[in-house]
């Protein structure tokens, strides 16, 4: 377990799925955590994580993101870690995708990550810190019927690299995590709607199973910690070997 005692962290989209697992892992590792999310925290979440501050935020809106960062950093007393995790899926034939749908996935998955990184970087430029972006294996390799999703996540991959080399002199590290298929409510919903076949997916994954949210959270803890102090501009695939596998 990485030691994040006395670190101050902001996680966007932290009330469910991968984001929630990261919040829980950071709290266990000793960090003070604030969550920025468009949803309202459930009683179960607040009961399980009473020390975590939850702030309403639309991360695709510059004013909302700036105000939420101001509030979070004031409560935390500063900022050491920012996880740009909030995102949405998009899975449909491209001929069925209208411009409004294209803009929606871009506004959340790409604009939202930029606004999160921009606000975090402004607050870290004098003291350094770690920014972690949730990309996807589909930002590294392509898939059909996901043109908006793949394009937005590929943008996140390049954003992490570009900011890493620009901000390295400020002591700000920027990395991305590229999850494969993760066992979340989102994946289960797509499977229920016939948009994913879990059996075929697991047959394609060399490790033979879906990734867990805790495994993504472990990667986020490592990248945020001093153990990764020389790591920046990298994309860490946590996909069970999916992107490495090119045989059948």
Task: Answer yes or no: 149 catalytic.
Answer: yes
CA 22 to CA 48: how far, in whole Å? 14
Task: Give strand pairing partners of 175.
Answer: 132
Q: Which of 149, 181, 245, 247 is catalytic?
A: 149
Which active-site residues does the annotation give? 149
């Amino acid at each position: 377990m990485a030691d994040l005692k006395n670190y101050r962290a902001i996680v966007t989209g932290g009330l469910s799925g991968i984001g929630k697992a990261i919040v829980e892992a950071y709290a266990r590792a000793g960090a003070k955590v604030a969550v920025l999310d468009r949803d309202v925290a459930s009683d179960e979440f607040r009961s399980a994580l009473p020390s975590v501050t939850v702030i309403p935020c639309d991360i695709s809106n510059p004013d909302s993101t700036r105000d939420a960062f101001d509030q979070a950093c004031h409560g935390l007393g500063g900022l050491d870690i920012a996880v740009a995790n909030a995102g949405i899926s998009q899975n449909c034939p491209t001929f069925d995708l209208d411009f409004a749908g294209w803009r929606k996935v871009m506004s959340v998955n790409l604009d939202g990550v930029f606004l999160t990184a921009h606000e975090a970087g402004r607050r870290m430029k004098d003291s350094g810190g770690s920014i972690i972006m949730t990309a996807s294996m589909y930002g590294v390799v392509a898939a059909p019927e996901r043109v908006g999703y793949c394009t937005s996540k590929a943008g996140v991959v390049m954003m992490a690299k570009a900011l890493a080399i620009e901000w390295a002199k400020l002591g700000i590290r920027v990395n991305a995590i590229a999850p494969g298929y993760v066992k979340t409510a989102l994946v289960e919903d797509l499977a229920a709607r016939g948009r994913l076949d879990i059996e075929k997916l697991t047959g394609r994954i060399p490790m033979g199973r879906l990734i867990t949210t805790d495994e993504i959270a472990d990667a986020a803890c490592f990248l945020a910690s001093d153990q990764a102090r020389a790591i920046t501009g990298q994309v860490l695939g946590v996909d069970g070997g999916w992107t490495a596998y090119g045989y059948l």
